[in-house]
Structures are given as C-alpha cells and as structure tokens.
C-alpha cells in the first residue's frame, strides 16, 4: 500500500528504549525519534498543519508564497508541504544556524535570507522582522509565524501526544522536551495531561534563553538573554504557543554539555541526532538524577529528540569546530612535544640532498632503518622521499637508481610546532608521507625533529597503558 504523497509519511515516528543512557535509574527511559519524519525533524508535523489551516481559512491561495522565520527545521517542514501543494517559499534564518540547514532549505527550492543573530527581536534586521516585512510587501503571501500560530501546538495535540499515549499503552509518566516556539511541549503536554493529570512535564532550556527563568519567576528578564550555540531551542521572546502552566519543572543545560551529549547519543545509542536532542537528553538525565528517590520501576520517561545529526555535520560532529568552541575534551591530551619527550632521542634529522643519487638515498634509509627522509638543501626542506615512492619509481624504471633525488622526490614533509595537539595532527599523518617535521627547540631555524606514524602509535599505546 503506497502513500498518496510525501505528506502522508509524517508522524508515527518510533519510540525507542535507550540501551545505556539512564540505565542507573529504576525507570524505563524512551526516546521519541523524530528524524524519521521525511524532512528530518519534528517540525514536519507543524509545517503541513499551519499550511492546511491557512488554506481552510482562505489565507493561502493557489500559487501563493509562504514566508517564515526559521532556525531551519520548520522551514524544511513547510517546504515539503509547499512542494506537495504547489506553493513558493521564502525563509529568513540567522547566521547562527549550521550551513547544512540553509543548504537543505535551498535544496527544497526555497529562497533563504540569512539575518544577524545578535540583534533584538524587534530590530528591523532580525529574522522575525524581515519575515514579517516581506509578508506585507509580497502579494499573495502567507506568514505562518510558528511562534504564535495555534496550529503549531494543535498539531502536537492531535498527533504527538496520542502517539506517545498509544506507544506506551498509557504508561507514560514523564515527558521531557526542549522548547523554542513552545508548540511541541505544550501541545503534547495538553493531550497527555488530559489522559492522566499526573503525567509530569519537564522543560529543558539552554542557558541564554528566557524560558526557564520565566517559568520559575513569572518575570521576563532581559538579563537572562545572551548568545548560546545550541540551535533551534530556547528563545529571547515569549512565544504564544508556549503554555508554561503545563510544565511541572524546568532544567537548564549549557552548550558544552549539550554538544557532548549529542555525540554520546550517536556513539552509545546509535542515534544520529541534533543539538537540541542532546540538550533534552542531558536535561532529562540531570532531572532524573536530582529526583532519583521519586522514580520507580513503574515510571516511563519519554525524551523528545527533535531532529537529525545531518544538520550539524559542520558543527557538533566536526572535531575542529568542537575544539574551537571549547566543547571537545581530548583524552589523552597529548602534544607533539609529549611524544618527542618520551621516544628514543635522535641526534639529528637524517636527510639527503637533491643532488644525491636515489641509490645513495636508499642506502641511507636502509642503514638507519627509516622509511622516509626529508630532502634538505642549504638548511631548507625542499622535498621528501618515502619507501613507497622509491619502490614505485624502481618498479617503473629499474635504472632510476642513478637518477638525482631532485628528479624523484615528493613534496616536503609538513612542518609543525611542538605544541600542536595530536588530534590536530592525525589527518596530516594519514597523508602519503606518514611523517611530519617538528621545529626543534633552540635558535637554529633549520633544526628539526621528525615524527612518524609509529611514534604516534607508540605514544598512544603508552598513554593507554598508563590510564589502565
């Protein structure tokens, strides 16, 4: 039996029992995995809902343009529905969002306008303001405004809530979710509490958002607002879809914890998910830890995981981005200097000159038991030889032994500083040469040490033995 259109595949996403996360608690911990939606996120549910509501009210006419401010996922949900129904899309987003999110929207044929993140919501440059302005300027356009549109929360009341109730056979006792527009947590919570008023709803907020503090105090505190890296969750406004009366508790999670938990879910649970998922999971574990005395084996905790990790390949799943933002902890935290300090000391780097014959270079490499050498000329590194390149040359031309090294040498070995961390070096050592030159301590700019793959393997193995 086939679906009439892609829109019929939205919803009915899996509810998965976690295998490692939360096993220290007596309760059952489940994840609602929303990346199974066709657009890769929970926002597919509200995209079609807001469009169909607008059609029913005559707000969206054939050939019209949908204009919305989005962190990326709602845009994808709207774009899929627009394709199925024949509408054009223009989306505004912020420069905080990952490039993958913008690329996805453009792949769906949408026009995307990137606006600055660190401006007030009412600033004419904000993505809220630009979307609203365009909707007034472009004829036959519709501005859903997911933050305030009732169909947002209603979509979750009609779909997400009933799914969780049915999938848990009415046993759900706790629902944990982040909130941006508030639609997911509010619509789902309303349905679940109608079925069982004792269901506890725990909101999770990033530091820098106003929601958690507003829930605690009832006050909108601008002092709570500051930039944070986690995308698609938290707000610097109070969205009308956010019903704080339905939330029983709130926890906050910092960016570093969020990013590390996101990667843990991929590695430990096989769930390749996005940043707000990691935040929700970290918040759930924090809350369960603080309330472990209240949890029993009859409790069923469901954590909402809104989207896919494919939207964050250049960020959370990129070691360099993680390291640059202080989110990645390296264990062991070794540098090139650490490796050189514990390996057998060489008196000097053994090299050859461009005018040496290949036969002489082979003899040098054989005599010293080394697989690669730098080619040095007047104290400068001008090239390199490695045993693979030498062997290939001799197979091609057996008489190449009499050729000058300059005729067969490869590119110079990379030169690095002694303070470089090994994590930053692995890609270089994966290259053809398999070695790097390290500037030696002292005043001689032409003095080098050499670091090979085998040196790195030995150092990491030694570190592993020490940790054990």
Query: 189-241: per-residue pLDDT in tens?
Result: 999 999 999 999 999 999 999 999 999 999 998 888 888 999 999 999 999 99
Which residues partner with 384 through β-bridges?
Answer: 374, 410
The structure's pTM equals: 0.72
Percent of the chain with pLDDT over 90: 64
Longest dimension (CA), the chain: 88
Least confident stretch, 63-67, 383-387, 451-455: 451-455
Give phi and psi for 58, each to the nearest 5: 75, 15
pLDDT at 178 over 70: yes
What CA–CA distance (Å, rounded) separates 347 from 361? 19
**The tokens of 130 are what?**
């630009």
**The tokens of 424 are what?**
């930053």
* Higher per-residue confidence, 461 vs 102: 102
Mean pLDDT of 341-348: 64
Active-site residue among 32, 43, 101, 315? 43
DSSP for 291-306, please give it. Answer: TGGG--TT-EEEEEE-
Set out the domains of the chain in order of their start, with CATH numbers.
Answer: 6-40+150-321 (3.40.50.1100), 44-142 (3.40.50.1100), 336-467 (3.10.580.10)
Q: Residue 2: what pLDDT?
A: 87
Between the alpha carbon of residue 409 and those of residues 191, 220, 244, 363, 372, the distances in Å are: 71, 67, 69, 16, 11
What CA–CA distance (Å, rounded) separates 240 from 232? 17
User: Among all chains, which residue has been given the structure tokens 């453009």?
Assistant: 106
Q: Residue 54: what pLDDT?
A: 95
What CA–CA distance (Å, rounded) separates 107 from 245? 39
> Is 256 among the catalytic positions?
no
Contact 412, 381 (CB under 8 A): yes
What CA–CA distance (Å, rounded) separates 164 from 91? 31
Q: Residue 396: what pLDDT?
A: 85
* Higher per-residue confidence, 410 vs 19: 19
Which residues partner with 451 through β-bridges?
Answer: 436
Q: Residue 205: what pLDDT?
A: 97
DSSP secondary structure letter of residue 424:
G
Mean pLDDT of 104-128: 91
User: Among all chains, which residue has been given the structure tokens 């929970």?
Assistant: 42
CB proximity list for 354: less than 8 A, separation 6 or greater: 375, 377, 382, 383, 404, 405, 406, 409
């Amino acid at each position: 039996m086939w679906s009439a259109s892609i829109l019929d595949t939205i919803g009915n996403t899996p509810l998965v029992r976690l295998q490692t996360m939360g096993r220290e608690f007596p309760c059952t911990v489940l994840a609602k995995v929303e990346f199974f939606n066709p657009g890769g996120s929970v926002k597919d549910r509200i995209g079609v809902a807001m469009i169909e509501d607008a059609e029913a009210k005559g707000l969206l006419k054939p050939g019209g343009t949908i204009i919305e401010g989005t962190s990326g996922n709602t845009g994808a949900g709207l774009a899929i529905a627009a394709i199925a129904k024949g509408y054009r899309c223009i989306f505004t987003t912020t420069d905080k969002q990952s490039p993958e999110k913008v690329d996805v929207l453009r792949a769906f044929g949408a026009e995307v306008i990137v606006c600055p993140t660190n401006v007030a919501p009412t600033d004419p440059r904000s993505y809220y303001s630009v979307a609203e302005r365009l909707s007034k300027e472009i004829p036959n356009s519709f501005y859903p405004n997911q933050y305030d549109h009732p169909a947002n929360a209603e979509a979750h009341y009609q779909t997400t809530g009933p799914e969780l109730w049915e999938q848990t056979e009415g046993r759900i006792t706790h629902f944990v979710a982040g909130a941006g527009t508030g639609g997911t947590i509010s619509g789902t919570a309303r349905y679940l509490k109608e079925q069982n008023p004792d269901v506890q709803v725990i909101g999770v907020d990033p530091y820098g958002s106003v929601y958690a503090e507003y829930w605690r105090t009832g006050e909108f505190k601008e002092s709570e607002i500051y930039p944070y890296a986690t995308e698609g969750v938290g707000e610097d406004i109070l969205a009308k879809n956010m019903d704080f009366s339905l939330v029983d508790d709130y926890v906050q999670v910092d960016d570093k914890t969020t990013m590390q938990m996101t990667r843990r879910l991929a590695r430990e649970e096989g769930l390749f998910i996005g940043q707000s998922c990691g935040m929700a999971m970290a918040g759930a574990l924090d809350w369960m830890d603080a309330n472990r005395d209240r949890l029993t084996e009859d409790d069923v905790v469901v954590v909402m995981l809104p989207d896919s990790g494919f939207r964050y390949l250049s960020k959370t799943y990129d070691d360099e981005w993680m390291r640059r933002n202080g989110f990645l902890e390296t264990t062991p935290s070794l540098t090139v200097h650490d490796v050189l300090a514990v390996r057998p000391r060489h008196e000097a780097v053994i090299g050859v000159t461009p005018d040496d014959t290949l036969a002489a270079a082979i003899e040098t490499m054989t005599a010293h038991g080394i697989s690669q050498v730098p080619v040095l000329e007047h104290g400068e590194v001008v090239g390199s030889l490695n045993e693979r390149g030498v062997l290939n040359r001799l197979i091609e031309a057996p008489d190449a032994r009499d050729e000058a090294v300059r005729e067969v040498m490869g590119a110079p070995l990379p030169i690095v500083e002694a303070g470089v961390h090994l994590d930053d070096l692995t890609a270089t050592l994966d290259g053809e040469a398999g070695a790097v030159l390290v500037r030696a301590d002292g005043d001689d700019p032409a003095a080098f040490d050499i670091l090979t793959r085998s040196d790195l393997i030995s150092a990491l193995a030694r570190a592993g033995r020490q940790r054990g």
